[in-house]
């Protein structure tokens, strides 16, 4: 079952001001897919999730589950499972009682409740922890319990609010694989919210990048990364982030300062040029001269902090293979790979090349 | 070195604690122990300090048939076991209701908290006027609805009593008149104890994470189940705290009785028919017969033992039932 959001708008208003948390959002979430809503904090992604869940009422617009308009349906009638950011496990109930709780509400026969509880405890890998209280579990285990509790009703949609933000780095890596696996095994349409682009890109079938309540771009993670529609999306995806240079187009040439780094078929104008960290190559034939400030060897490759007077920030960062020798405090020549270089309109920050 | 430092720290601590310890020793610990000792001194003379022998005579006397103490103990037990559960349940319901309304929440909070900052005796006087047996507000309402005057606080021979089918008028204590007056006392005690309980429960309610309720809502949990399976367990530390303190408070009930029924603690019928254990203790302390001090002491020790017993039971049950 797919989910469609049609002109979804949420306005939080009080006496003095109103905030458009979500603005005219049109998204189709395909059936059985894992979709990541991605954006900086305050971009309306959690609000969107809560509206899909039915905990928040949209100001305008509609939500469809399949062909059914669920906009005015209360949360419990929508058949969704929600995993909260801090899990919201009932602290006074054991893991087993927590997972059973939604089923007991449905007045299901006892034998079936137990069978289902077992099934989903096994699915998320917590069958030995059933008699513990949430406090006696680690963050990752609590997360699994929360997922089991959300899934045990066998909902049509699974919603996850910042599912990995409360976990440490190692656990995060493990849990995101786990979420992917559970989603694949159950085939449930899943929407999750995150501000961490790496997290979103690594497990989503599709990502939706949002900013200030407005959808910026939607697509497969790699497509969005490689073909960002604007400077915001380009800057938001990728670590280390993309480097922005002030440049210009002149007679078919693309310049940073006075140095020609590529070609362009645009009219002559001032532009912003975004170059991914992996888009640089140290070479004698390079045209862009940069001053190396610092070299960081991080095992697999080498990260170089350098400066150029036309960068948006004081320094920028690029990555070269670990074998390449780079000396600190020298000026070197680099070439720019054309497919890692994006040209943005100076005013609207839309991508033009 | 470290040892020396520790002992100096200990001395310092003792020095700071000394003023409080001295005062407590004189005004709390000594009277406490002395009460215990006096309760075993037979024919103890309050003025001279003389006594005939050590033994259980005082205890025999207060528990002998027809002694006022037994009646006081019965009244106290009734007050404890009726008012505490009812007031906790009521305050829980009111707190939950207050927590769920949005407009005028502050206003209602203030209204419900007002009795707490008002003098107990003053409220008692208001109650004794409201429940006055001839022309009181309660009787005015009852008569205007077609009923007849109820002899709430005694003193109205024409007034009717309640519970005539439940209680025999010839009973030693539990007469219809006693029942009628006890209703007034209960209403007063419960009313008076609500604000503090509501305050504690409301602040606890407001600190419960809203996400528990959102999670419950998504799972389609019924209102009653949310209350019984989520709200009450999450409030259990506060409920338990209130249970213990109100148990102890109710065992020591005194002011309310005097405020409504006067120093004699009686409505019509038996003398001192509304008296409580603490009333008995005060009464015997102030007695013109100097040897009755021993009875007061014995009564106090019995009350202490009872409170200890119930607090221990509460503690035992609490360990099993309370989720921290």
Cβ–Cβ below 8 Å for B219 and A92? no
Lowest-pLDDT choice from A5-19, B155-169, B205-219: B155-169
**Residue B89 in domain:** yes
Token pair of B95 as six digits: 């707190």
Q: Kindly state the average pLDDT of the residues B91-99.
A: 91
Identify the residue whose tokens are 């040892």: B3
Position B175 scores a pLDDT of 82
Which pLDDT tens digits describe chain A residue by residue (353 residues)? 889 999 899 988 887 888 888 888 888 888 889 999 988 888 888 889 999 999 888 999 999 998 889 888 888 888 899 999 888 999 999 999 999 999 998 888 999 999 999 999 988 888 899 999 999 998 888 988 998 999 898 888 999 998 888 788 888 888 888 888 889 888 899 998 988 888 888 889 999 998 888 889 999 999 998 899 988 998 888 888 888 888 888 888 888 877 888 888 888 888 888 889 888 888 877 788 888 888 888 888 888 888 888 888 888 888 888 877 788 888 888 888 888 888 888 877 788 77
Q: Is B48 on the interface with A (CB under 8 A)?
A: no
| Rounded Cα distance, B163 and B150, in Å | 11
DSSP string, A129-155: -TTS-GGGS-HHHHHHHHHHHHHTT--
**Residue B310 in domain:** yes
Task: Pick the residue from chain B with its C-alpha nearest to A159.
Answer: B218
Of B134, B250, B256, B248, residue with least CA distance to B185? B256
Is the CB of residue A290 less than 8 Å from the CB of residue A268? no
Identify the residue whose tokens are 């799972």: B219
Q: Is B234 on the interface with A (CB under 8 A)?
A: yes
Position B270 scores a pLDDT of 59
A231 and A267 both lie in a single domain: no
Q: What is the pLDDT of residues B121-160, one digit of tens each?
A: 888 888 888 988 888 888 888 888 888 888 888 777 777 7
The residue segments making up the domain with residue B212 are 65-130+182-321
Q: Which of A236, A265, A291 is the last residue of a domain?
A: A236
**Chain B residues closer than 8 Å to A105 by CB:** 219-222, 225
Give the helix ranges, DSSP H, for chain A: 45-53, 95-105, 110-124, 139-151, 169-186, 197-203, 221-226, 231-236
Cβ–Cβ below 8 Å for A88 and B212? yes
Token pair of B123 as six digits: 């409220």
A282 and A339 both lie in a single domain: yes
Among the partner-chain residues A55, A102, A106, the one whose CB lies closest to the CB of B214 is A55
| Rounded Cα distance, A83 and A291, in Å | 48
Mutate to test the interface with B, among A82, A87, A106, A107 (most CBs of B within 10 A): A82
**Residue B106 in domain:** yes
Identify the residue whose tokens are 């037990």: B77
A93 and A72 both lie in a single domain: yes
- For residue A295, the SS3 value is strand
CATH code (residue B201) = 1.10.3720.10
Position B152 scores a pLDDT of 84
Q: Is B217 on the interface with A (CB under 8 A)?
A: yes
* List of residues 6+ apart from B319 with CB closer than 8 A: none
Q: What is the pLDDT of residues B237-277, one digit of tens each?
A: 899 999 999 999 999 999 888 888 888 777 766 578 888 99
**Residue B30 in domain:** no
A225 and A275 both lie in a single domain: no
Cβ–Cβ below 8 Å for B236 and A92? yes
Residue B52 neighbours by CB distance under 10 Å: 12
Position B277 scores a pLDDT of 93
Q: Which of A236, A267, A284 is the last residue of a domain?
A: A236
Position A108 scores a pLDDT of 87
A67 and A142 both lie in a single domain: yes
Q: What percent of chain B has pLDDT over 90?
A: 37
Among the partner-chain residues A80, A81, A105, the one whose CB lies closest to the CB of B225 is A105
Q: Nearest CA of chain A to the CA of B186: how many Å? A: 34
**Residue B1 in domain:** no
Axis-axis angle for helices B232-251, B68-100 (nearest 10): 150
**Residue A329 in domain:** yes
| Rounded Cα distance, B193 and B115, in Å | 9
Mutate to test the interface with A, among B209, B213, B219 (most CBs of A within 10 A): B219
A192 and A252 both lie in a single domain: no
Identify residues of A whose CB sits under 8 angstroms from chain B CBs.
53-55, 74-77, 80-82, 84, 86, 88, 90-93, 101-102, 105-106, 149, 153
A193 and A86 both lie in a single domain: yes
Q: What is the pLDDT of residues B23-46, one digit of tens each?
A: 999 999 999 999 999 999 988 887
Q: Nearest CA of chain A to the CA of B205: how many Å? A: 15
Position A75 scores a pLDDT of 86
Cβ–Cβ below 8 Å for A77 and B220? yes
Q: Is B222 on the interface with A (CB under 8 A)?
A: yes
Position B3 scores a pLDDT of 65
* List of residues 6+ apart from B153 with CB closer than 8 A: B128, B131, B132, B133, B181, B184, B260, B261, B267
Task: Return the percent helix, strand and coil in chain A, to nearest 5.
Answer: 25, 35, 35
Of A344, A180, A195, A340, residue with least CA distance to A270? A344
Of A344, A337, A343, residue with least CA distance to A318? A337
CATH code (residue A119) = 3.40.50.300
Judge if the upstream peptide bond of residue A156 is cis by omega within 30 degrees of 0: no
How many CB pairs lie under 8 A apart between chains A and B? 56
**Residue B77 in domain:** yes
Task: Pick the residue from chain A with its C-alpha nearest to B219.
Answer: A102
Q: Is B255 on the interface with A (CB under 8 A)?
A: no
- In chain B, DSSP finds a helix count (H) and a strand count (E) of 14, 2
A19 and A151 both lie in a single domain: yes
Cβ–Cβ below 8 Å for B211 and A88? yes
Model pTM? 0.79
A286: left (phi over 0), alpha (psi -120 to 50) or beta: beta
A167 and A287 both lie in a single domain: no
Among the partner-chain residues B211, B221, B222, the one whose CB lies closest to the CB of A86 is B211
Among the partner-chain residues B209, B219, B234, the one whose CB lies closest to the CB of A76 is B219
Handedness of CA B80, B83, B89, B92 (dihedral sign): negative
Task: Pick the residue from chain A with its C-alpha nearest to B210.
Answer: A88
A46 and A183 both lie in a single domain: yes
Cβ–Cβ below 8 Å for B220 and A76? yes
Cβ–Cβ below 8 Å for B214 and A90? no
* List of residues 6+ apart from B221 with CB closer than 8 A: A76, A101, A105, B229, B230
**Chain A residues closer than 8 Å to B213 by CB:** none
A99 and A232 both lie in a single domain: yes
When divided into structural domains, chain B yields a total of 1
When divided into structural domains, chain A yields a total of 2
**Residue A350 in domain:** no
**Residue B145 in domain:** no
| Rounded Cα distance, B28 and B32, in Å | 6
Cβ–Cβ below 8 Å for B218 and A81? yes
Cβ–Cβ below 8 Å for B233 and A92? yes
Q: Strands B53-54 and A269-275, how do they pair? A: unpaired
Among the partner-chain residues A53, A76, A90, the one whose CB lies closest to the CB of B212 is A90
Cβ–Cβ below 8 Å for A101 and B219? yes
Q: Nearest CA of chain B to the CA of A92: how many Å? A: 6
A133 and A207 both lie in a single domain: yes
Q: Given pLDDT bands bounded at 50, 70 and 90, which one contains residue B103?
A: confident
| Rounded Cα distance, B147 and B179, in Å | 18
Position B300 scores a pLDDT of 94
The residue segments making up the domain with residue A82 are 3-236
**Residue B175 in domain:** no
Cβ–Cβ below 8 Å for B230 and A90? yes
Sheet holding A189-194: strands in order across? A80-83, A157-161, A189-194, A34-38, A206-211, A214-219
Burial class (CB in 10 A: 0-12, 13-18, 19+), A34: buried
Q: Which of A202, A217, A236 is the last residue of a domain?
A: A236
| Rounded Cα distance, B294 and B193, in Å | 32
| Rounded Cα distance, A26 and A31, in Å | 16
């Amino acid at each position: 079952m797919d989910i469609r959001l049609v002109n979804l708008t949420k306005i939080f208003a009080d006496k003095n001001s109103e905030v458009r948390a979500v603005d005219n959002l049109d998204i189709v979430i395909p059936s059985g897919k894992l979709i990541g809503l991605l954006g900086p904090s305050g971009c309306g992604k959690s609000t969107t999730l809560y509206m899909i869940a039915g905990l928040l009422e949209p100001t305008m617009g509609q939500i469809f589950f399949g062909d059914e308009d669920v906009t005015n349906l209360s949360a419990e009638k929508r058949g969704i499972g929600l995993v909260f950011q801090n899990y919201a496990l009932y602290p006074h109930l054991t893991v087993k009682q927590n997972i059973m709780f939604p089923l007991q509400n449905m007045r299901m026969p006892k034998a079936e409740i137990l069978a289902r509880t077992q099934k989903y405890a096994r699915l998320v890998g917590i069958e030995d922890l059933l008699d513990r209280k949430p406090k006696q579990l680690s963050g990752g285990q609590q997360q699994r319990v929360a997922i089991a509790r959300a899934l045990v009703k066998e909902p049509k949609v699974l919603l996850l609010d910042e599912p990995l933000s409360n976990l440490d780095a190692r656990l995060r890596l493990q849990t995101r694989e786990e979420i992917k696996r559970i989603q694949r095994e159950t085939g449930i349409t899943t929407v999750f919210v995150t501000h961490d682009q790496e997290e979103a890109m690594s497990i989503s079938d599709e990502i939706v990048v949002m900013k200030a309540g407005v959808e910026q771009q939607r697509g497969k993670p790699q497509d969005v990364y490689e073909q960002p529609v604007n400077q915001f999306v380009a800057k938001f995806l990728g670590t280390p982030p993309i480097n922005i240079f002030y440049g210009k187009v002149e007679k078919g040439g693309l310049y940073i300062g006075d140095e020609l780094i590529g070609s362009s078929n645009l009219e002559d104008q001032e532009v912003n040029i975004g170059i991914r960290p992996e888009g640089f190559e140290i070479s004698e034939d390079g045209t862009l001269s940069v001053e190396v400030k610092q070299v960081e060897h991080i095992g697999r490759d080498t990260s170089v902090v350098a400066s150029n007077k036309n960068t948006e920030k004081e320094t920028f960062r690029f990555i070269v293979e670990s074998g390449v020798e780079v000396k600190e405090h020298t000026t070197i020549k680099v070439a720019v790979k054309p497919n890692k270089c994006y040209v943005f309109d100076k005013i609207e920050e839309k991508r033009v090349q | 070195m470290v040892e020396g430092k520790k002992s100096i720290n200990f001395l310092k601590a003792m020095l700071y604690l000394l003023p409080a310890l001295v005062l407590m020793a004189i005004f709390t610990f000594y009277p406490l122990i002395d009460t215990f000792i006096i309760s075993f001194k037979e024919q103890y003379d309050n003025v001279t300090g003389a006594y005939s022998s050590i033994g259980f005579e005082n205890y025999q006397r207060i528990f002998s048939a027809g002694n006022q103490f037994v009646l006081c103990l019965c009244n106290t037990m009734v007050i404890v076991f009726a008012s505490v559960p009812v007031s906790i349940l009521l305050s829980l319901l009111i707190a939950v209701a207050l927590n769920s309304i949005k407009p005028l929440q502050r206003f209602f909070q203030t209204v419900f908290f007002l009795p707490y900052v008002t003098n107990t005796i003053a409220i008692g006087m208001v109650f004794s006027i409201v429940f006055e047996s001839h022309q009181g507000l309660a009787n005015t309402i009852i008569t205007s609805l077609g009923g007849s005057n109820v002899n709430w606080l005694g003193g109205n021979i024409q007034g009717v009593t309640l519970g005539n089918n439940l209680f025999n008028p010839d009973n030693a204590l539990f007469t219809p008149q006693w029942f009628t007056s006890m209703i007034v006392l209960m209403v007063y005690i419960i009313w008076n104890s609500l604000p503090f309980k509501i305050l504690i429960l409301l602040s606890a309610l407001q600190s419960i994470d809203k996400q528990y309720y959102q999670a419950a809502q998504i799972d389609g949990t019924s209102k009653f189940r949310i209350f019984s399976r989520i709200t009450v367990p999450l409030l259990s530390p506060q409920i338990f705290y209130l249970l213990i303190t109100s148990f102890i408070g109710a065992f020591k009930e005194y002011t309310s009785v005097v405020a409504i029924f006067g120093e004699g603690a009686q409505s019509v019928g038996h003398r001192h028919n509304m008296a409580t254990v603490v009333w008995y203790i005060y009464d015997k302390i102030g007695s013109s017969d100097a040897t009755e001090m021993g009875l007061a002491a014995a009564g106090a020790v019995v009350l202490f033992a009872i409170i200890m017993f119930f607090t221990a039971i509460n503690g035992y049950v609490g360990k099993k039932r309370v989720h921290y």
